[in-house]
């Protein structure tokens, strides 16, 4: 088995713990790690089925076969020109928001990422299936649908369809009150793309635009296909069409060779871009990737320290963005009742909002005027 990063180690530890804690149960392992390390995982105690990233819809029948034959089944196959695997989910955690994956695979080969090696080629859910899935979720009572993919910007490649086509199909589905997008790449944000999004009243105006680093030299080592300047241009286009939108992002702390100067460039860039929220990850080595072989690997302590600094910056940026909501009227989808008579939900910009209201409004979208903010939380009155 290859040397693993922290995430892989945690996954393997979870598999072992599940087998020890439930010795009479069958352990099923699927996903990227299983795709890459199928044979080794199949030899682990308690594991009865290894699936990887294909044939997940056959999990019940394959497990029944494994139990009937008294052996472990390794169902992982090489990734070739495989079709999009539709895994419809009729029930999601919570009662208001559902996730719909419309795209699979990636061929960008960022230097730190294992996904292109284990998720297969780019493939998309056919547009008619997108419409059908959106109808099913709306009929099940979900008010917000989050449209996601491994590399969402690649949706429709080779089919003649576009990501805007898919977003529009979900947006125009009766019963769908709000559509939110998963992670996007800066390169997809053209003037026409931003204008098309701005014409959809039910689109949540929060856009997760992947960054990873604000340093041009680090982005080049990461094999990211944009510069900090191009990232800012994408932000500007979105804000031109939707002035109140939130741009959120993810950042990797402690990429191999990252100097103090490059880290400072990232810190400064995050502030200049006026981002609304950061998801920060310390760099984790992945065997088989280009970045794993780069010189200048930082220590875990260095990566942790830089991640903590970025998290602190993220808190400040988020608080500043939320503070700018004061006095504004926002559309809130109420999801929970943290205490009697007090409702909580999220605005289109994904600001957490509290307001007094009856529990009958759970699952409803209402206008709320923001009166106070504290950190990442906004408080207001339903109008």
Digit-coded pLDDT (tens) for 29-43: 988 888 888 889 999
CA distance 329 to 350: 14
Contact 344, 338 (CB under 8 A): yes
Confidence of residue 4 (pLDDT cuts 50, 70, 90): low
The more confidently predicted of residues 323 and 38 is 323
- pLDDT at position 119: 85
Model confidence over 40-73: pLDDT tens digits? 999 999 999 998 777 777 889 999 999 999 999 9
pLDDT above 90: residue 21: yes
Structure confidence at residue 52 (pLDDT): 78
Residue 124: both structure tokens together: 């998309």
Question: Which range has the worst mean pLDDT, 120-124, 128-132, 174-178, 306-310?
Answer: 120-124
pLDDT at position 80 = 66
For the CA atoms of 167, 169, 173, 176, the dihedral, rounded to the nearest 10 degrees, stands at: -10
Average pLDDT over residues 95-119: 92
Four-residue CA torsion sign, 222, 224, 285, 307: positive
Following CA atoms 209, 234, 186, 4 in sequence, which dihedral angle do they give, to the nearest 10 degrees? Answer: -40
Look at residue 83 in the predicted model and tell me its pLDDT: 63
Q: What pTM did the predictor assign? A: 0.84
Query: What are φ and ψ of residue 269, in 5° steps?
Result: -65, -45
Residue 6: what pLDDT? 65
Token pair for residue 283? 């760099």
Asked whether the beta carbons of 270 and 278 are under 8 A apart, the reply is: yes
In this structure, the strands spanning 144-149 and 123-124 are unpaired
pLDDT tens-digit map of 195-245: 999 999 999 999 999 999 999 999 999 999 999 999 999 999 999 999 999
80-108 in b/e burial notation, b at 16+ Cβ within 10 A? Answer: eebebeeeeeeebeeebbbbbbbbbbbeb
CA angle 198, 200, 201 (to 5 degrees): 105
Share of the chain above pLDDT 90, in %: 81
CA-to-CA distance for 280 and 292, rounded, in angstroms? 19
Handedness of CA 376, 379, 382, 383 (dihedral sign): negative
Q: What is the mean pLDDT of residues 159-170?
A: 96
Q: Are 361 and 310 in contact (CB under 8 A)?
A: no
* End-to-end CA gap in the chain: 59
Q: Report the side by side order of strands in the sheet with 73-74.
A: 27-30, 47-52, 73-74
Band (pLDDT 50/70/90 cuts) for residue 84 is low
Domains with residue ranges and CATH for the chain: 6-74 (no CATH), 97-323 (3.80.30.20), 329-382 (2.40.50)
Structure tokens at 381: 């009155």
The more confident residue out of 82 and 338 is 338
Question: 191-198 and 228-241 helices cross at what angle (nearest 10)?
Answer: 30
Which structure tokens are listed for 334? 């109420």
Query: What pLDDT, on the 0 to 100 scale, is given for residue 93?
Result: 53
Q: Is residue 303 within 8 Å of residue 296, measured between CB atoms? A: no
Query: Which residue do the tokens 């709320």 mark?
Result: 368
Centroid of chain to Cα 106? 14
What's the pLDDT score for residue 282? 98
> What mean pLDDT, rounded, does the chain reach?
93
Q: How confident is residue 337, by pLDDT bands cut at 50, 70 and 90?
A: very high
């Amino acid at each position: 088995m290859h040397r693993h990063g922290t995430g892989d180690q945690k996954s393997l530890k979870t598999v072992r713990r599940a087998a020890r804690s439930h010795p009479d149960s069958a352990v099923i392992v699927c996903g990227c790690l299983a795709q890459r390390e199928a044979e080794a995982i199949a030899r682990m105690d308690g594991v009865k089925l290894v699936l990887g990233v294909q044939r997940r819809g056959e999990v019940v029948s394959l497990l029944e076969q494994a139990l009937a034959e008294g052996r472990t089944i390794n169902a992982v196959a090489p990734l070739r020109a495989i079709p999009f695997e539709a895994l419809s989910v009729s029930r999601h955690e919570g009662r208001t928001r559902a996730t719909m994956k419309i795209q699979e695979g990636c061929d960008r080969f960022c230097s730190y990422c294992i996904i292109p090696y284990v998720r297969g080629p780019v493939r998309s859910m056919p547009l008619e299936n997108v419409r059908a899935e959106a109808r099913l979720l709306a009929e099940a009572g979900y008010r917000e649908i989050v449209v996601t993919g491994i590399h969402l910007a690649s949706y429709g490649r080779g089919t003649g369809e576009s990501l805007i086509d898919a977003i529009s199909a979900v947006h125009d589905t009766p019963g769908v009150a709000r559509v939110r997008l998963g992670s996007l790449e800066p390169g997809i944000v053209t003037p026409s793309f931003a204008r098309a999004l701005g014409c959809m009243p039910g689109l949540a105006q929060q856009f997760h635009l992947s960054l990873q680093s604000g340093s041009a030299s680090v982005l080049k080592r990461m094999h990211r296909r944009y510069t900090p300047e191009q990232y800012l241009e994408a932000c500007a286009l979105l804000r031109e069409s939707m002035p109140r939108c939130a741009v959120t992002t993810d950042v990797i702390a402690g990429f191999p060779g990252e100097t103090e100067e490059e880290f400072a460039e990232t810190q400064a860039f995050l502030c200049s871009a006026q981002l609304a929220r950061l998801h920060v990850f310390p760099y984790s080595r992945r065997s088989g990737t280009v970045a794993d072989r780069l010189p200048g690997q930082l220590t875990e302590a260095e990566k942790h320290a830089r991640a903590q600094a970025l998290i602190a910056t993220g808190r400040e940026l988020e608080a500043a963005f939320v503070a700018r909501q004061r006095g504004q009227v926002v559309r809130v989808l109420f999801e929970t009742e943290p205490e009697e008579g007090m409702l909580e939900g999220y605005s289109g910009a994904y600001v957490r909002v509290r307001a007094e209201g009856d529990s009958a409004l759970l699952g409803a979208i209402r206008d709320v005027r923001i009166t106070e903010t504290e950190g990442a939380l906004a408080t207001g009155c339903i109008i």
